Amino acid sequence: MTDDKGIKTEPAVDTAEGVEVLASAIAKKGYKAVGRYYSFSKWKQLQPTEAQQLIAAGLSIITVYEDSNDKPSSFTSAAGTQQAQQALHLAQDVIRQPKGSGIYFAVDYDTSYYDYVHYITPYFKEIQSVFEKAGNPYKIGVYGNGLVAANALQDGLVDLTWLSQSQGFRDYKKFRDSRKWNILQGPAVKISGTEFDSDTLNLTNGDFGGFTHLTPKDVS
């Protein structure tokens, strides 16, 4: 579909909950992709059988990494290294996410420019370093407010941006109206009694980092 600003879009949803049994219901509602998590917290990790069911239902999968990631002190160089390594482990060894797709990293609070410079930038530079040492298997994305999304994209720290639904956060409207986002998060929706956040995929900006197949086990 195309919105009133001429942007080609598709609807998607995201959740921290496992949704293996809801794959068909999500697809039947007309959604095209599902955002799910990588983390050190096992309860919200995307599972292999879940990924298989989502793909079998005709859905793309979007992965986003988040532990707490909700305050400045969450973002250090050490955290960037640890979270990038965990993301790669889960993507490559557990899920078999195909190369060339994306992994978003969450900055889940209303980040200031000071925080962006002193906390978020070093964190993403370490993610870049870890990915580079691994051969850059995935595109790096950021989930966050407009300020973080715009600056990380401008500074070359990320390839992909996912704008948080929090409209009162810094530079929300400015970045939304720039149309530079790949994913725009929206209000909550319910599918078969389970709550999701809704999302809009910006296909005019090309690849949003999702994937619709898994790498065969015998392929590195």
Q: What is the pLDDT of residues 85-117, one digit of tens each?
A: 999 999 999 999 999 999 999 999 999 999 999
Per-residue model confidence as pLDDT tens digits over 23-52: 999 999 999 999 999 999 999 999 999 999
Which residue would you say has higher pLDDT here, 110 or 3? 110
Query: At 145, which amino acid appears?
Result: N
Task: Locate 81 and state its tokens.
Answer: 């290294």
With H, G, I as helix, E, B as strand and everything else as coil, classify residue 139: strand
Name residue, tokens 């995201």.
14
What's the longest Cα–Cα distance across the chain? 47
